[in-house]
Every structure is written in C-alpha cells, then in structure tokens.
Structure 1
Amino acid sequence: MLTRARGCLLGLAAGDALGRPAENLAPEEIARRWGRLTEIEPGKGGTDDTEYTLFAASLLCRYGAAMTPADVAREYREQIIPGIDGPMRGAGFSELGAIQALRRGLAPPLSGLWHPHGWSDGLAMRAAPYGIFAAGRPAEAARLVAVDGVVSNSGEGVYGGQAVAAAVAVAMTGAAPGEVVRAGIAAVPEDSWTSRNLRAAVEAVATGSVERLYAAVVVRHYPWTDLAPEAVALAFAGYLMGAGEVEESVVSAANLGRDADTTAAIAGALAGAGRGEAAVPERWAAEIGPATGRCLPVVAGRHVLDAATDLVAASGKAA
C-alpha cells in the first residue's frame, strides 16, 4: 500500500514536471523542439497540479471519509485565500473561478456552478489522493473526490475527477491497465462527454493511431486545453500506450501535448500506483523536491512522498 501510494504521487509529480514545458503545444511542435520529450528540465519542478494534489491530500488527512463540501470550502477560505497576495498565479480556470465565487460569499455547489469553467481539468489533476485513500474501492474514491470537486467544478469537470480517482483506486490493487481504465469509465455516467471520450480513446489506442485519438477526443477549435473530457482521455490513452509502465506512460502522455502537464501527471499517477515507487525512474525522482508554494503558499515545503505516507496512515485509521 505504501510503495504504491508513494509511486502514485511521485509519478504524478514527475509527469507534471516533464509535461510542464509542453503545455498547450501540439505533438508536431513537441517533436520539432525535442524530438521526443523524455527528460525533466533540471531545477524547474512542477506546476499547480502537484501543489493542488498536496492540498487535496491534506483535506483527506484532516477530515477523512466524513469530509463535506463545506469543509473543503472552509479550507479554501482559511488556507488558500489568505495566502494570495495580488493576482492568483499558476492556477487553473476552475480554481480561479472558485476563489472568486467564495470571495463573493457563495457556497458549494454554487461556487462550482457560478463561474463558466466547471468543465476544466482542475479536479482531475488533484484526484489521485482520493484513489489512494480509497484503494480498492473505486465507488468510494469517486464519491469523495466529488465532495471536493463541487467547490470548484461542475458537470464534466467533476466526472473527470471521478474517473481519475476511481481508476487510481483500482490501480492501487495492482490491476492491469485495461481493468484500471474500465474502472474509470464505470465511475461516470455512460451518456457523459467524459465517458464517450474515454471509450473513444481506448478504441483509438488499440489502432495505434495518434491521429485517430486526436480526431476522437481533442477539441481543436477551442482556445484552451484544460477541458476535462479531453485531458482525462489523453491521460488514459498515454497510460495505455505505455502499458502501465511509469516511464513510457508518462512520456507517451506528455508527447501528446495539449494540457501536457496534467495529462502526464494523471498517467504518472495511474502507472505509479500500479507499479510502485521503485518503478519511477531514479533520475526523475531526484528532480522532485518539496513544493515551492508558488501556486499555493500553504503547501510550501511539503513533499509528495510525505503526503503519500500520511494518506496511507489516514486510510488505515478510517478503515
């Protein structure tokens, strides 16, 4: 349990850091710049994906399975909002919208519905801790991540988080990638955009065609790349393309571009949960240090490995 939890969050942080410079790029541009992006930029670290994951882990360690949306909103108000000096930097659209809504006095679920970015992948990027906490219980992981999600997201944005959390919960059992992905699909409504994209991604990967994958799930005409149904589908595709191995899954996801830090982070979380800490390349692990807090000052100094240890302890107490 502990080595899978540590592998999950270390894989997430490594994917975040690897994908960071490729964010918003197309695969063709990534190939032009790097050939194939395989190495983390030394000393650069990750993004809000890692820092919000640390925040989500802290929520679970504090409240456990009894956590409510009101608890999450209170933590935003007490832990995040006071630390914002000037414009909020390094956060996704859904988090920015939630902060604005909470500042206006709105409570969840209105805080996730009030702004127009409920579909973003902000919840999906921080969903892995819920799968660790509810390892082997995908339905519980999906329930818990939605408790967090309604503060900042709605609709497809929540579904994306549920798919990731449920998949991580099954990956934590050592299940094969196909079973992991099926658990993610089963966690969301069959008629949802997220479900359709995930099923299309599975079919496209089976053909070995990146062009078919893009045609099926990427919204090329939309100016932003953080659409949850798109990002989660690309992340699951990268994980399947890498056959669940950490390095190949993360690299495959990062080189698909679009919201590359998030897709590579999710792929890394799934693969790391399945393979354990030892499967994360040592050269990548060496680049993952404590969070700087440049996105969320409240998590400065926290390391994903410490968060994984704390989650396992909290999960044990809950059981």
Structure 2
Amino acid sequence: MTSVACVPSVPAPEDAPDLRERARGALLGLAVGDALGAPAENLKPSEIRARWGRITGFVVDDPAGTDDTEYAIFSGLLLARHGSALTAAHVEAAWHALIADRAEGPFRGAGFSERGTLENLRRGLAAPISAQHRHAWSDGLAMRAAPFGVFAAGRPTEAARLVAVDGAVSHEGEGIYGGQAVAAGVAAAMAGAPTVAVVASALAVVPDDSWTARSLRRAVAVAHRGERAVRSAVVIGGYPWTDLAPEAVALAFGAYAAADGDFRAAVLTAVNMGRDADTTAAVAGALAGATRGVGAIPAEWAAAVGPARGSCLPAMAGHHVLEVADLLTAREDPVRDGDRAPHGGPAARLEPVPADLPRGDARPPADPAAYVLTAPEDEVQP
C-alpha cells in the first residue's frame, strides 16, 4: 500500500458546506457528470471538437443519466438498508431480485461487466465466482462507488471495505481497486480534505504496484498541465475498450486535480477528454461535489437531473440521487469502540489511513427495516 500513515483532519471553515450538502453534491454531481458526458462517450477529443467544439454544457435537448446513475442509486439504496453490515450475500440477493431474475425488459446501456455478471448469476454462480468474466477489470464498480464514500464520510478505509463487498459480485482485481479509490476519495472529500489529501486517500487503499495506482499517480502528476497531458499520461493508444477501471479512474482524478476541486472545471475537463466520458465525468463530479457541496453545481445543470428513468435498471425508475444522499447521511451506523452516533454530522473528520484494510466488525444497523430496496409489486417476476 502507499505509505500514507495519516491524512490529517482539516478544520472546516465557517462557510464550509455541511455533511448533507456535501452528500447531495457528491451524488447530484455524479448524475450531472454522467448526463453531461454521455454524448461524448467513446469519442476522441478530436471527434468531440468536430461535433461541438469544446463542450461547455449539455449538448442534447433532453439530458439524462445512464447506467452510471442508476447503478449508483441501486447500490446506494442497498447500502442505506444494510449499512456497515452489508455482505456479498445482500448484494447478490439484490442483483437477483431486481435485475437477474426479472424479465430483462428495457435493460439497455449496461457495460460488459454487468452483462457478464448477470450471465453468471443466471447460471447459478455465486459471488465471488459470479465476478469471473472477461470484463471484471471494468469501471462498472467505480461508477457506483460514490455512495460508499458518502456513507463513510471521513472514513476512507471503511468506504473502501464496503465498496469491495459490493464489488465482489461483479468485479475482481483492478475493477475492485478502481471502486476502492473512488469510494475512499469521496469519503475524504466529504470530510473537507483538500485535493491533495483526497488523492492520497484514494492511493492509500489500493496496492502501490497496481495498474490503478500507477495510472492515478501519472494522471495527478501532470494535472497542472491540463487535460491533454492527463489523457496522454493515462490512455493506451489503440486499445479498443474505454471502460477499463485503471484508465477511467485515473482520468477522473486527473480532471479533479487539474481543476483543484472546482466542480464545473473538473466535470468539463473529464467530458472533453472523451473515452468513457460519462463515467469519468460522473466520478469527477462526485469528487468535486463532495468537496464543494451541492451549491457548487450550476443551477441549470442541477435542474436538468430528474428521477431515474429506469432506462437501464427498470426497478430504479422514479428514484432520485438526492433521495439516496439524504438516506445515507440521515442513517445511524455503528462507529468505533461500539459507540453509536448519527452518521456523519457537521463534525465529520478524516480518519488516519492504515496500511491495510481490516474488515472489522459488521454489527447490525439500528433499524434494518427502515430502508427497503424493492421493486413495484407488478414488476417483480416470479
């Protein structure tokens, strides 16, 4: 692991956004970045310039989130129900009940990792074997990782542990590391950490010699030179797949670092780099939204994000990312030494990052039934 023995707590200025505003910023920022980046997905910067010049806002009349937003809602609602007691069995059961065991219907736009996972689950394979497919290294976990950082505000190690539990159903190796880096980074940003500490927290939870860590270090090292330098440092020329986690996560953190946490600049930098632009912009938006709070998101962008349409996950139709943010910050969860306290709160602080990731005790939440992840009765398949 990266040798970060302790990332110091950062005293919050009087006008700093409170935890709820940071949570809303993180998840609304994810959805805004997703919608802004969707038209540029899989394009090169030259192709983006040829179509739109430099993208500075929505380039379609009816912007909407993609699978990135809907899977983040899916994982966020599951986390709100189970908290730190989340297990791979909970995640697997939810995938079966709300995705795999239903008539597929309008399930469109999901990445290869989700398709491979569903094929394995439908064949009767359980986690972690369900994650053994050709795209287990994709950014499909990274795109849904932000809720874990929101939930574990100031606790990047716990955020990384929990997102790995979620990812055990669908990802392995670099796919898990990408999700852990994003979750830890958001957790640090939720506590008011500066950009450099957010990046350090992300690096501290993944193996130092991993592809994810190497790519992330390269991206942030040249971030001061702008998006072209970030892209050149990370992207493998000629490689056909744009959804590999080490690349997408590094591009997102590079955009965030280049903008020094500014929301508009971070998201637009990610969008204009192309590749898996919806995911990179979603991750950059989550990091910057957690850093600056929901008030930093331009009003016209925020207003364009409505409830999920269910275009990828029909069971998520009608849920809004702000609903998930409020559930995750309102929920009570066990904390160190067995004490109970409202999760987060204005005094959330960034914990030291240890050299490993102990799983710890997973004690049951105060009221597991308070948060229920279900589909409408008429949509559940027998």
Per the normalisation by structure 1, the TM-score is 0.96
User: Is residue 51 of structure 2 the alignment partner of residue 33 of structure 1?
Assistant: yes
Contact 2:106 2:311 (C-alpha < 8 Å) held by counterparts: no
AA paired with 2:303?
A
Change (3 A) 1:302 1:86: closer
Residue of structure 2 in register with 1:239 after alignment: 256
1:242-269 deviations in Å (ceiling 9; x for gaps): 1101111101111111000000000000
Contact 1:156 1:194 (C-alpha < 8 Å) held by counterparts: yes
Following the alignment from structure 2 to structure 1, what is the Cα–Cα distance between the partners of residues 152 and 118? 27
Residue of structure 2 in register with 1:219 after alignment: 236
TM-superposed CA distance for 1:221, in Å, is: 2.1
Structure 1 residues 294-305: aligned runs within 5 Å: 294-305=311-322
Following the alignment from structure 1 to structure 2, what is the Cα–Cα distance between the partners of residues 35 and 201? 24
1:267-319 deviations in Å (ceiling 9; x for gaps): 00000001111111000001000000010011100011111001111253659
* Equivalent of 2:161 in 124, 130, 143: 143
AA paired with 1:314?
R
Report the 3-state secondary structure (helix = DSSP H, G, I; strand = E; otherwise coil) of the residue aligned with 2:222: helix
Following the alignment from structure 2 to structure 1, what is the Cα–Cα distance between the partners of residues 169 and 259? 33
Following the alignment from structure 1 to structure 2, what is the Cα–Cα distance between the partners of residues 80 and 261? 22
Following the alignment from structure 1 to structure 2, what is the Cα–Cα distance between the partners of residues 188 and 18? 29
Following the alignment from structure 1 to structure 2, what is the Cα–Cα distance between the partners of residues 87 and 14? 22
**Structure 1: unaligned runs, 5 residues or longer:** none
Residue of structure 1 in register with 2:63 after alignment: 44
* Equivalent of 2:299 in 282, 286, 291: 282
Following the alignment from structure 2 to structure 1, what is the Cα–Cα distance between the partners of residues 282 and 205? 20
Structure 1 residues 1-319: aligned runs within 5 Å: 1-40=19-58, 41-85=60-104, 88-113=107-132, 115-206=133-224, 208=225, 210-315=227-332, 316=342
Change (3 A) 1:209 1:294: closer
Following the alignment from structure 1 to structure 2, what is the Cα–Cα distance between the partners of residues 219 and 150? 27
AA paired with 2:162?
L
Following the alignment from structure 2 to structure 1, what is the Cα–Cα distance between the partners of residues 270 and 103? 32
AA paired with 1:30?
I
Contact 2:137 2:245 (C-alpha < 8 Å) held by counterparts: yes
Following the alignment from structure 2 to structure 1, what is the Cα–Cα distance between the partners of residues 218 and 268? 21
CA RMSD of aligned residues (A): 1.4
TM-superposed CA distance for 1:27, in Å, is: 1.1
AA paired with 2:246?
P
Structure number having the greater helix percentage: 1
1:91-124 deviations in Å (ceiling 9; x for gaps): 11111111111001111111112x1100000000
Contact 1:5 1:276 (C-alpha < 8 Å) held by counterparts: yes
Following the alignment from structure 2 to structure 1, what is the Cα–Cα distance between the partners of residues 119 and 105? 13
Contact 2:228 2:273 (C-alpha < 8 Å) held by counterparts: no
AA paired with 2:305?
I
Report the 3-state secondary structure (helix = DSSP H, G, I; strand = E; otherwise coil) of the residue aligned with 2:154: coil
Task: Please tell me whether Structure 1 or Structure 2 has the larger radius of gyration of its CA atoms.
Answer: 2
AA paired with 2:117?
A
**Structure 2: unaligned runs, 5 residues or longer:** 1-18, 333-341, 344-364, 367-382
Contact 1:83 1:296 (C-alpha < 8 Å) held by counterparts: no
AA paired with 1:137?
R
TM-superposed CA distance for 1:86, in Å, is: 5.1
Contact 2:227 2:269 (C-alpha < 8 Å) held by counterparts: no
Following the alignment from structure 1 to structure 2, what is the Cα–Cα distance between the partners of residues 194 and 224? 16
Report the 3-state secondary structure (helix = DSSP H, G, I; strand = E; otherwise coil) of the residue aligned with 2:169: helix
Report the 3-state secondary structure (helix = DSSP H, G, I; strand = E; otherwise coil) of the residue aligned with 1:232: helix
Contact 1:8 1:273 (C-alpha < 8 Å) held by counterparts: yes
TM-superposed CA distance for 1:33, in Å, is: 1.6
AA paired with 1:10?
L
Following the alignment from structure 2 to structure 1, what is the Cα–Cα distance between the partners of residues 308 and 231? 33
AA paired with 2:155?
R
Contact 1:27 1:257 (C-alpha < 8 Å) held by counterparts: yes
